[in-house]
Structure 1
Amino acid sequence: MKNFNSKILLAFVVLLMVALLTAGCGGSKEEDKTDGQSSEQEKLKVGFVYIGPVDDNGWTTAHDNARKYLEEKLDYVETSYVENVPENPADAERVITQLVNEGNKIIFTTSFGYMDPTIKVAEKFPDVTFLHCSGYKTAPNVAAYFGRMYQARYLSGIAAGKATKDNLIGYVAAFPIPEVIRGINAFTLGVQKVNPDAKVKVVWTHTWIDAATEKDAAVALLDSGADVIAQHQDSPGPQQAAEAVGKFGVGYNSDMGKMAPKAVLTSPVWNLGPYYVEAVQAIKDGTFDTTPKYGSLTYWGGLADGTIGLAPFGPMVTEETKQLIEQEKQRIVSGEWDVFTGPFKDQQGEVKVPDGQKMTDDEILNMDWFVQGVEGSTK
């Protein structure tokens, strides 16, 4: 009987050990499964640094719309942003570093003045990819991207050249850097395509976004005789100034016709969402290359890929003008011709680009002179 009881006890112990081992193994598998699910659900964090508020109805609104598009198209992405970040190095570096510390593996810095701070922070965080808009410096983990906005500027210049009665168009401009200068030049070439007698008068504000300053500059141009106001500024202030006195204008960045419907002929606009999706997917796949391919830029999209374009025309734009703009657009999209193809002259009347010669990407990106027809200094 004793031996029988011992056998029963031994069997019970063996069964208990097997049960414990089985439970242990089952627990490990469940934990592995849970960990796997957690890993799959973890989002790729993408951060954005903005020069203005997201509701500026201009540059920052365009970038924020692209951010929203990115989140909509890639469900594995989680985005965040910091708005109203000054371009001084201390503030920019602090915010960019903050976004890295918050776990963002991709960071878009969306203003020219963020270039050096982006490069500096990128050196400290080689495992994070940075994409800087409108600058000219790259690194193994820093890309420089922009759009061929000069193409849309040229088309909008045709609308302005057709609309002016007094042959003086005012241009409220931010800073005298190549990005802005080539836009003014392209716009002026468009104006003179349809109205060789018209002039484009430039006033510098030395700010990207300051609605009051921009509006004051537009008022000064209107007072000097301009009857159309163009701009390289982030707010619709210049367009609202034109509307207030019954004049016309050409907006920028986003569709400013919504903010001054009686004035705005059209607006050169940004559509960066598709590029953001393409870039983030490539980074995730490990195929993204920051190497400059277009002069100093990693990416430089244009009318052909839809990165830039024109907002809908206002009711004051004639069908004849719309058709002419469409014809010129198709010449550019097809690759048959581009805006900075000669012949054209500089302000001094000297031939800058001979007939049939096309400026290189480097020459366009480093443009620091005005074409004939522009009134103002590049300083």
Structure 2
Amino acid sequence: MNITRSLLAGAALALGLAGTAAAESHGGPVKAGFIYVGPVGDGGWTYEHDQARLKLEEHFGDAVETIYQESVPEGADAERAITQMALSGADIIFTTSFGFMDATVAVAEKFPDIKFEHATGYKMADNLAVYSARFYEGRAVQGLIAGHMTESNIVGYIASFPVPEVIRGINSAYLHAKEVNPDVQFKIIWAYTWFDPAKEADAAKALIEQGADVILQHTDSTAPQAAAQAAGNVITFGQASDMYEYAPTPRVSSIIDNWAPYYIERVQAVMDGTWESSNTWDGIGPGMVGIGEITDAVPADVKAEAEALRDAIAAGDYHPFTGPINKQDGSAWLAEGEIADDATLAAMDFFVEGITAEIPN
């Protein structure tokens, strides 16, 4: 036990010395800023980004200082918040919602010596990188479970905004639900918000009233979980964070966003003077997307099938968008065995065949 403690102490000392050396070479602690679209206690998207920020502090110790602003509306308010953070002396700023994209671009142009990182966007510059996770991989696993477990054959989906990230997730979940249950239907409600517990709860209740006994969500609060729990006989999936407080039902599994390794890597690059603009899009394999524990509420054979799908995706043996797949209007998209390219997925603006809902303008 003393040897173990000695080794741990030595490792901690080495990490501390490395962090101190990096800070000294940088001229002091690196200041990393975070702009959040929701509150840090939302239990989902923003919560996981903030947990990663805390792990960043834990990793680097005194070599890094972090600041954040929560509940920043997308639009003009975002540009003001990002500008204020830049003026506060931040070395690198992470803006963590799709709707912050244009604001991040505008501020990055004004502050060429600051590094900017935008989550889920696609506009880049010499001092602006983008990063996202392949959430659609997790949606495939959720779709498989949903298709097996629905008894009404109606799966409800609470969608936030009609952007490619959300459309990809709906398509992936539907394709894998349909594969195991040809009779499955998806009913979609657009909430037009990332985080609004009241709207999310209302959407969940409306879907349940329409016969859905499985609810998927691409919104950030735990309100749909609570609504499903109150209704009974409805299953859900955690979104962005595990939401395990609702297990074993209604939450039977989850998609967990793991941003900490990326944040640590990018701040280390600032310290080292090696930071470059890049486009990162990682999934289950690299660990940016995690699949939360599948509870015993899921039958053992379905659980095993879901875990096999997860593992095949992680290993690169299977891609969730593998043909044959048609577009919603019946036109061919992917031929037998053909895999969707990233450019098409990144700009996805169509539903696949079988989904009857429309994508709003």
Contact preservation (8 Å) 1:156, 1:310: no
* Equivalent residue, structure 2, for 1:78: 65
Write the deviation string for residues 49-97 of structure 1: whole angstroms up to 9, x where unpaired.
00010000011001001111111112211111100100022x1111111
The Cα offsets for residues 128-150 of structure 1, whole Å up to 9 and x where unpaired, read as 00000011100000001001110
CA gap of 1:211–1:261, structure 2 versus 1, over 3 A, is farther
Distance 1:98 1:264 in 2: 39
Structure 2 residue runs of 5 or longer lacking an equivalent are 1-20
Deviation at 1:284, TM superposition (A): 1.9
Q: 1:87 aligns with which of 49, 64, 74?
A: 74
Partner of 1:150: 136
Q: State how 1:257-276 maps to structure 2 within 5 Å.
A: 257-259=244-246, 261-276=248-263
Name the amino acid aligned to 1:307: M
1:288 equivalent to 2:269? Answer no
Q: Does 1:186 align with 2:172?
A: yes
Matched, 1:305 2:286: yes
CA separation in 1, counterparts of 2:209 and 2:24? 62
SS of 2:286's equivalent in the other structure is coil
Q: Secondary structure at the match of 2:33?
A: strand
Name the SS of the counterpart of 1:131 in structure 2. Answer: strand
Q: Distance in 2 between matches of 1:259 and 1:128?
A: 41
Larger radius of gyration: 1
* Structure 1 residue aligned with 2:212: 226
Which structure 2 residues correspond to residues 162-181 of structure 1 after superposition, within 5 A? 162-181=148-167
- Cα RMSD over matched residues? 1.6
SS at match of 1:374: coil
Query: How far 1:117 sits from its partner (Å)?
Result: 0.7
CA-to-aligned-CA distance 1:287-312 (integer Å, 9 cap, x gap): 22214xxxxxx100111110002111
1: CA distance, partners of 2:75 / 2:276 = 28
Question: Aligned equivalents of 2:242 and 2:148: distance in 1?
Answer: 20
Is 1:352 the counterpart of 2:333? The answer is yes
- Which of 100, 110, 113 is the aligned partner of 2:99? 113
Aligned counterparts, 1:204-215, within 5 A: 204-215=190-201
Which residue does the alignment assign to 2:13? none
The DSSP-based 3-state class of the residue aligned with 1:170 is strand
Identity, % of aligned positions: 46
Does the Cα contact within 8 Å between 2:248 and 2:297 map onto a contact in 1?
no
1:351 Cα deviation from its structure 2 partner:
2.9
Choose the corresponding residue for 1:51, options 9, 19, 37. Answer: 37
Q: State whether structure 2 residue 51 is matched by structure 1 residue 65.
A: yes
Quick check: 1:242–1:248 contact (8 Å CA) kept in 2? yes
CA contact (8 A) 1:257 1:263 kept: no
Partner residue of 1:322 out of 292, 300, 303 = 303
Offset from partner CA, 1:19-51 (integer Å, 9 cap, x none): xxxxxxxxxxxxxxxxx9x95783111000000
Superimposed CA distance per residue, residues 318-353 of structure 1 (whole angstroms, 9 cap, x where no aligned partner): 221121112112221222221111112222333321
1:215-262 per-residue CA deviation (whole Å, 9 max, x = no partner) reads 101111110111111000011111211111111112211112314652
Paired residue total: 336
Aligned in 2, Cα 1:71/1:114: closer, same or farther, shift over 3 Å? Answer: same
| SS across alignment from 1:155 | helix
**3-state SS in 1 of match to 2:131:** strand
Q: How far apart are the structure 1 equivalents of 2:45 and 2:242?
A: 10
Task: Tell me the SS of whatever aligns to 1:183.
Answer: helix
Which of the numbers 188, 199, 212 marks the counterpart of 2:185?
199
Question: What is the one-letter code of the residue matched to 1:355?
Answer: E
Deviations 1:185-219 (A, max 9, x none): 11111212221211111110111110000110111
Contact 1:160 1:265 in 2 (8 A): no
CA distance in structure 1 between the aligned counterparts of 2:246 and 2:78, rounded to whole angstroms = 30
Using the size of structure 2 for normalisation, the TM-score is 0.90
Amino acid at match of 1:192: K
> Structure 1 regions of 5+ residues with no counterpart?
1-35, 292-297
Alignment correspondent of 1:294: none
Q: Confirm or deny: 8 A CA contact 1:198 1:373 kept in the other structure.
A: no
- Alignment of 1:256 with 2:243, yes or no, is yes
CA contact (8 A) 1:253 1:268 kept: yes
Distance in 2 separating the partners of 1:185 and 1:39: 49
TM-score for both structures, normalised by structure 1: 0.85
Amino acid paired to 1:377 = E
Kept in 2, the 8 Å contact 1:106–1:130? The answer is yes
